Chain A
Amino acid sequence: KAGVTQTPRYLIKTRGQQVTLSCSPISGHRSVSWYQQTPGQGLQFLFEYFSETQRNKGNFPGRFSGRQFSNSRSEMNVSTLELGDSALYLCASSSKTRVDSYEQYFGPGTRLTVT
């Protein structure tokens, strides 16, 4: 099976702009999550989608939003970009339904630089 794919891999945006990142999960995986990784804060959970519904949300401002399509593909959007949004954004998918077995498979990430 093909792994999790993310596009684009690299992105440079200007403060105040908005950006949309895309993620295609492993075939058959219905749960898709997003994480932000920065040197200062480490890996932080953004949100998780399952069957087009947001099930969990991390502690991020409303500028960060996402959605999931019927084919399980997901997008995340960041509006009014700030310098602090520069990060590696990772998408992960899972096929597990039991919480004690829940494990995720990650894509290569999108490196976002805000100038």
Chain B
Amino acid sequence: NAGVTQTPKFRILKIGQSMTLQCTQDMNHNYMYWYRQDPGMGLKLIYYSVGAGITDKGEVPNGYNVSRSTTEDFPLRLELAAPSQTSVYFCASRAGLAGPYTDTQYFGPGTRLTVL
């Protein structure tokens, strides 16, 4: 299994441009998450999904959109990039079944985004 993969690894955007960060998992996990991490800070949840067709906002959803058309994919869309969105973005997934051993989140390698 590749686990959680993210593309691209790096991206530079100009203010006002848009882009989609891709996230794919091959573990057949129900739950998927998008986090952002600013320098020296912990991770903050942007959006999450409990299954195909179901998404919900996290702590910092403004400026982002998501969709979940399949179990495997959970893309994050930035419509009008702003310098405040300069960050490292991590996608994660977990099985979501009841029980402590299925509650572990598996993270992708991250996408480093700079908005100038």
A and B are partners in one complex rather than unrelated chains: no
Could you tell me which B residues sit within 8 Å of A by CB distance? none
Could you tell me which A residues sit within 8 Å of B by CB distance? none
